[in-house]
Amino acid sequence: MIPKAFDLSGRVALVTGGNRGIGLGFAQALAAAGADIAIWGTSAEKNAAAREQLAATGRRVETFVCDVGDEAAVEAAFAATLAALGRVDGCFANAGVSGRGGKSFTEMSSEEWRRVMRVNLDGAFHTFRAAARHMVERGGGGSLVGTASLAAIHGAARSEHYGATKGAMISMVRAMAVEFARHGIRANAVLPGWIETDMTANAIGNEKFAGNVLPRIPLRRWGRPQDFGGIAVYLMSDASAYHTGDSLLIDGGYSLY
């Protein structure tokens, strides 16, 4: 039984990058709380696998192949999402790519800079713009949630581009929170710490890295995609009706220590 304030029955959540990792963690909990789900990703196979995993929730799940860095593709996918599910109440701009660490900032090519900006920042802009436009036109409010990162506030050496996109995500969310509050639309950012997903598999699988980082996480484990379910349901539901413009750090205490 879901407490009423957290009940998402009759609502629709769009999760970009929802076919695995943190996005799938969001989607699983949102569906369990009663929301119908739209998932966007570039891989049709991964979208289909996620749809299968979510089938057990009994909710409607629609997937769309969409590269969020492509403005026209986002407009088309948003229209297709509305055609399939009728509305979007919660928009999770979560799709992202990591920096290809290793090289110093002094050696970073413009192509590498643009590769990360294109998905993480342009992608969030395209996605949020379409969702905010829809929510304003429809009326009745909504929730915009951006996946930022601890890298927005920690110095992410050799990943200046990645850190910059995540810092910008926080700024974009704060600006949207003010601009759209009059429409009952809230905007918040989630900042994950070190979470076990495909994105971090190499780092977390590296013994030296794990030996350095794990002892500095007070909760003494890597985060898991399921650790992001509670915050997703909270931020989309009436339970967070007066909560906007915030950056919520979910890092097992890593940043404290």
Catalytic residues: 162
Chain positions 110 to 139 lying near ligand NAP, rule: CB under 6 A, are 119, 123
The reply to whether 163 sits near ligand NAP by the rule CB under 6 A is: no
For ligand NAP, the closer of residues 10 and 253 by Cβ is: 253
Task: Work out the angle between the directed axes of helices 123-138 and 160-180 (0-180°, nearest 10).
Answer: 10
The reply to whether 159 sits near ligand NAP by the rule CB under 6 A is: no
The answer to whether 88 and 131 are in contact (CB under 8 A) is yes
- Binding track, positions 70-99, relative to ligand NAP; x by CB under 6 A: ------------------------xxxx--
The reply to whether 142 sits near ligand NAP by the rule CB under 6 A is: no
Residue 123 identity (one-letter amino acid): G
Write out the two tokens for 89. Answer: 């109440």
Question: How is residue 163 annotated by DSSP?
Answer: H
The answer to whether 166 and 148 are in contact (CB under 8 A) is yes
Residue choice 26, 180, 194, 234 for contact with ligand NAP (CB under 6 A): 194
At residue 186, the 3 state secondary structure works out as strand
Q: What separation in angstroms does the CA of 248 have from each of 91, 161, 173?
A: 16, 21, 12
For ligand NAP, the closer of residues 28 and 197 by Cβ is: 197
Binding site residues, ligand NAP, CB under 6 A: 16-17, 19-23, 40-43, 46, 66-69, 94-97, 119, 123, 147, 149, 192, 194-195, 197-200
